[in-house]
Amino acid sequence: MNVLVINCGSSSIKYQVVDTEASSALVKGKIERLNGAESYDQALKDITDAVSGYRIDAIGHRVVHGGDHFSMPQLIDNAMLAMIESCVPLAPLHNPANLTGINAARKILTGVPHVAVFDTAFHSRMPRRALTYAIDAELADSLKIRRYGFHGISHAYVAQKAAEYLGSATNQLRLVTCHLGNGASACAVEFGTSTETSMGMTPLEGLVMGTRCGDIDPAAVLKLVREKGYSTEEVEHLLNRQSGLLGLSGISKDLRDIEAKAAEGNERARLSIAVFSHRVRKYIGAYAATMGGIDAVVLTGGIGENSVLMRRRILQRLEFLGLMLDHDRNNDCRVSHEQPVAEICADHSRVRALVVATDEELMIARQTETVINAQSVFAERKVIPIAVHPCHVHLSRETFEQLFGKDAGLTKAEETFQPGQYVCRERVNLIGPRDRIDGVSVVGPLRERDQIEITRDEEFRLGVDAPVRPSGQVDGSAPITVEGPLGRVHLSEGLICARRHIHMSNEEAEHLGIHSGDEVEVAITGGSRDLVFRQVLVRISPDYRLEMHIDIDEASSAGLPIDPDGTYCRFGGGENIKAEILRHSYRTY
């Protein structure tokens, strides 16, 4: 597919025709010094002329702020444009230009689908504890003051590239990705999901940037207003355009100029480099803590890809985390479109350090292609039985023996629909810092690792922060104490909220054109409250039988008639209740 990618800034438009099969640009360019809607109309005409020699199958527009409306890229129509418009107050410096570009392009490039790809979307699954600011909750709610995060297109792309390089998948890894360009942000990519990022309600928060200040005490802003009489616009200008590396150094926003001056002994230039790198190091450490460990740190953007000095300053003294920088590899590191990934850590470094050349246009093109392809996937409605899982535990042999004794064995109480999986008579109690849950079922057979699955509601009851994870991914998950007839075992990890998912056999998946790890949108009807679930993970294995797994919270949200005592139940037969796959939830991340 050939996708025309349009990236509209406040005074310029970058464009590129990307051949998604070859992952390469057929033509690209930039039109600068734009001012007013008419100049954008003219610029789009010029772009149309410049790309007229190529077949264009779709157009992908970058949109900076999707607010809380968009967790995925989306086909543009008038209704969704109105939603982008509603995000303008959140991003007055960015969204108006994006909208002007989209409107101009839709006037000229008719008959081709247009897709919006959002910088915020990758972060849309951040847990509430990460996206909430500690201010008056009602005020925050009414003004939509919360953390959204940006640079998502780049973070998602480099995380994917890093995973490919490591011979793994993003949903098997905990990464800290650092996009360090004129704008800069760090992101905790926890098993494929962004769970923390340094930019907040706007791209102003977090790391030091070319001209933006990043983290600052809000009281400093008040001081400027009070003592200098600054207007809103003046403060906005100061913090967005006159701060960061430029404000610190008084030399330039370009790190190359600052590095040159620092080498000559310029004190402000040296301090700028120290403040910038210190801030990035601080976030890497913080995200290692929030994720309960990391597998790799990924650096990208003009600074991450090119500055040997900054990479060394950022990655120094991280040995305690298991990351050993290799200075020769760092000095020799070059990345490019052809060689997009380089490793700069020592062979024995447990945590890898990678430099990845980002390619946001390619990512926008790929996501656009995914949206277009997803339109037609599920012409056939597939009805899926639903299993509702209450809180339950999978135990390792070691834990089981400590709780029930060396000679004990599991006793089957009830087969589940998945071959070989059964609910046992054995029960355990879960003891959290706040409260306990008694009589929790053990699900057999015994596994390699302990895994305790609770709902969001139970997470609050126990008083723990359990991550939402696909089953099987317990590294760095929450600790919990489990009690059995022989006493208590404290597990340092294993507690998760399981992601809703569908079990599917290989034949069924092939028939529907779904791949393992895809996400689909599923409608549940026939309960007292019909509900569409997005982000339903599909898990495929020859041993699986078609079934959707949700927890008690999710079942009660859909108004399913579940047992109030919360036992395992299933809807798959004669009742009206059914789940149907509507379409792919565009697996873009």
Instruction: Report how far Cα 110 is from the mean position of its chain's Cα atoms.
Output: 32
Token code pair at residue 31: 């039109």
What is the C-alpha separation between 314 and 255, in angstroms, rounded? 14
Taking every pair of Cα atoms in the chain, the longest distance, rounded to a whole number of angstroms, is 81
- Tokens 């010029």 appear where? 46
Residues 121, 9, 150, CA angle at the centre, nearest 5°?
25
Least distance from C-beta 364 to ligand ADP, angstroms? 14
Least distance from C-beta 109 to ligand ADP, angstroms? 25
Between residues 208 and 430, which has the closer beta carbon with respect to ligand ADP? 208
Catalytic residue among 46, 57, 68, 119: 119
Catalytic status, residue 141: no
Between residues 259 and 483, which has the closer beta carbon with respect to ligand ADP? 259
For ligand ADP, how many residues bind (rule: CB under 6 A)? Answer: 13
Least distance from C-beta 116 to ligand ADP, angstroms? 20
Phi and psi at residue 277, to the nearest 5°: -70, -35
Site string for ligand ADP, 75-114 (x = CB under 6 A): ----------------------------------------
Task: Answer whether 570's CB lies under 8 Å from 549's CB.
Answer: no
Q: What is the 3-state secondary structure (H, E, C) of 539-581?
A: EECCCCCCEEEEEHHHHHHCCCCCCCCCCCEEECCCCCCEEEE
Between residues 182 and 396, which has the closer beta carbon with respect to ligand ADP? 182
Least distance from C-beta 12 to ligand ADP, angstroms? 11
Task: Answer whether 187's CB lies under 8 Å from 196's CB.
Answer: yes
Least distance from C-beta 91 to ligand ADP, angstroms? 16
Site string for ligand ADP, 227-246 (x = CB under 6 A): --------------------
Token code pair at residue 585: 């939830």
Least distance from C-beta 463 to ligand ADP, angstroms? 41
Token code pair at residue 192: 């494929």
Least distance from C-beta 360 to ligand ADP, angstroms? 8
The binder of ligand ADP chosen from 45, 107, 223, 256 (CB under 6 A)? 256
Q: Which stretch binds ligand ADP (CB under 6 A): 249-257, 386-394, 524-532, 546-554?
A: 249-257
Residues 286-315 that bind ligand ADP (CB under 6 A): 301-303, 306-307
Residues 181-220 that bind ligand ADP (CB under 6 A): 181-183, 210
Residue nearest to ligand ADP (CB): 302
Q: Which stretch binds ligand ADP (CB under 6 A): 17-25, 227-235, 254-262, 276-284?
A: 254-262
b (16+ CB within 10 A) / e for 436-454: ebeebbbbbebbebbbbbb
Q: Cβ contacts of residue 364 below 8 Å, gap of 6+?
A: 3, 5, 7, 18, 60, 61, 62, 117, 153
Picking from 77, 76, 73, the residue whose alpha carbon sits closest to that of residue 153 is: 73
DSSP string of 115-150?
EEEESSGGGTT--HHHH--SS-HHHHHHHT-S----
Residues 18-47 that bind ligand ADP (CB under 6 A): none
Between residues 207 and 489, which has the closer beta carbon with respect to ligand ADP? 207
Does position 254 bind ligand ADP by CB under 6 A? yes
CB atoms within 10 A of CB 149: 27
Least distance from C-beta 209 to ligand ADP, angstroms? 8
Between residues 12 and 541, which has the closer beta carbon with respect to ligand ADP? 12
Q: Cβ contacts of residue 116 below 8 Å, gap of 6+?
A: 61, 63, 66, 70, 73, 74, 76, 80, 84, 102
The binder of ligand ADP chosen from 44, 255, 363, 509 (CB under 6 A)? 255
CB atoms within 10 A of CB 42: 14
Residues 555-584 that bind ligand ADP (CB under 6 A): none
Between residues 33 and 128, which has the closer beta carbon with respect to ligand ADP? 33
b (16+ CB within 10 A) / e for 241-259: eebbbbbbbebbbbbeebb
Does position 384 bind ligand ADP by CB under 6 A? no
Between residues 117 and 288, which has the closer beta carbon with respect to ligand ADP? 117
Least distance from C-beta 315 to ligand ADP, angstroms? 15
Amino acid at 25: A
Residues 154-183 that bind ligand ADP (CB under 6 A): 181-183
Q: Cβ contacts of residue 328 below 8 Å, gap of 6+?
A: none
Amino acid at 460: F
Between residues 204 and 497, which has the closer beta carbon with respect to ligand ADP? 204
Residues 339-358 that bind ligand ADP (CB under 6 A): none
What is the C-alpha separation between 351 and 355, in angstroms, rounded? 13
Between residues 303 and 577, which has the closer beta carbon with respect to ligand ADP? 303
Helix (H, G, I), strand (E, B) or coil at 207: coil
Q: Which stretch binds ligand ADP (CB under 6 A): 121-129, 251-259, 406-414, 501-509?
A: 251-259
Q: What residues make contact with ligand ADP under the rule CB under 6 A? A: 181-183, 210, 254-256, 259, 301-303, 306-307
Indicate which residues carry an active-site annotation. 119
